[in-house]
Amino acid sequence: MPKKSRFLAGEVISPKPIVKGASVVRLVEETFLAYNAGRLHEACRLFAEKMVGPQVTVGMSLTGALTPAGVGRSCIVPLIQAGFVDWIVSTGANLYHDAHHSLDLALHRGSPFLDDTRLRQEGVVRIYDILFDYTVLLKTDAFFRKILEQKEFQRSMSSAEFHHLVGKYLREREKALGVEQLCTLTAAYETGVPIFTSSPGDSSIGMNVAAMALQGSAFRFDVSADVNLTAAIVWEAKRKGGQSAVVIAGGGSPKNFMLQTEPQIQEVLGLPEKGHDFFLQITDARPDTGGLSGATPSEAVSWGKVDPSQLPDTVVVYTDTTIALPILTAYALSKAKPRKSKRLYDRLDGLHEELRATYLKGFKAGRKKGGG
């Protein structure tokens, strides 16, 4: 008999019938066996078995209209509260629309096949099949402009500090309105999870900041601080013998901003590093068009964004985030033990100073060696 090929060492595909009341864990492990279900199986196992280990710092990027669909409350908040997410890069739009929930402003299920001219006439806004009254935008805008008038906002700050302060004010509104369920910003505020926005002007939050600037507000986003603070988080995780993991929901600017922490450390600051250790992406973007949203982990290796020795611990799931993330969340909460929050926000100043001191030490040594 010829020797059995090593390629046939995988589990035999012979699932049991799905039974009434089957759990998410059972569905993932017993029936998600091939194609993108197979990749989601691998993603769930990677996240629950390796990425949320005690020595791993987990970053999550959020792109696409996730929070209007309820993904913030249903998935991101439980992951934050379980200690499974340590820092976040999000579009401003996701944070703006998530604030609707804290302000007790309703979003409704609808249809993507409605007459948008009629919706406009009746003051209804549509995000695909999500509908809400136009006044939801106006009331949320008013909230952001009101807090931007406060004295503590009259200066330049990182987007992480801005979102932490917004989380504080939103938490006060939740309590005053009797809103029991936290939103992403308030959950992050209470657990010390820093949230960054890679393009702070590209959202309704940024639009309201711009409007306040016309009124003389001194508030400004410090984008350079964001670049250095995110790099400092990854540098601190790796230099102490830990590992860095990224969970990428979607693609776009937040994906790049999260992954560029490694080129910032290696290429720009000249510090020794190899790349992120774990890479998990949920996307519907194709890699062959050359866009960042569809770029693969192996391509990221060429930029120094992912450690080449860790490619087996990278998974890309080609599907809708609103499908995959709830399954991933339910699986992780069922299989992994909660972790104590690292409270990275409380330590940002110290992490930044450590990165700065290390960089300047090397920079001065290089100048001295070169005779500069």
Count Cβ atoms within 10 A of the Cβ of residue 168 and give its class: 0-12 exposed, 13-18 middle, 19 or more buried.
Answer: middle
Reported as type and span, the H/E element at residue 116 is helix 116-121
- Give the integer Cα–Cα distance in Å for 227 and 242: 21
Contact residues for 107 (Cβ-Cβ < 8 A; gap 6+): 68, 97, 100, 101, 130, 131, 132, 136
Q: Quick check: 343 and 191 in contact, CB under 8 A?
A: yes
Alpha-helical segments (H) within 149-306: 159-177, 184-191, 204-214, 223-239, 252-259, 261-263, 297-302
Structure tokens at 116: 């948008």
DSSP state letter for 306: B
Structure tokens at 147: 């807090």
Which contacts of 292-296 are long-range, i.e. CB under 8 A and separated by 24 or more positions? 292/251, 292/252, 292/255, 292/256, 293/63, 293/250, 293/251, 293/252, 293/255, 294/251, 295/251
Strands (DSSP E) contained in the chain are 56-62, 87-90, 108-109, 124-127, 130-133, 156-157, 195-196, 220-221, 243-249, 278-283, 314-318
- Is 342 catalytic? The answer is no
Q: Which of 305, 335, 361, 368 is catalytic?
A: 305
CA nearest to 106, candidates 139, 62, 144, 74: 139
- Give the integer Cα–Cα distance in Å for 262 and 270: 10
- Give the integer Cα–Cα distance in Å for 209 and 166: 13
Q: Which residues are catalytic?
A: 305
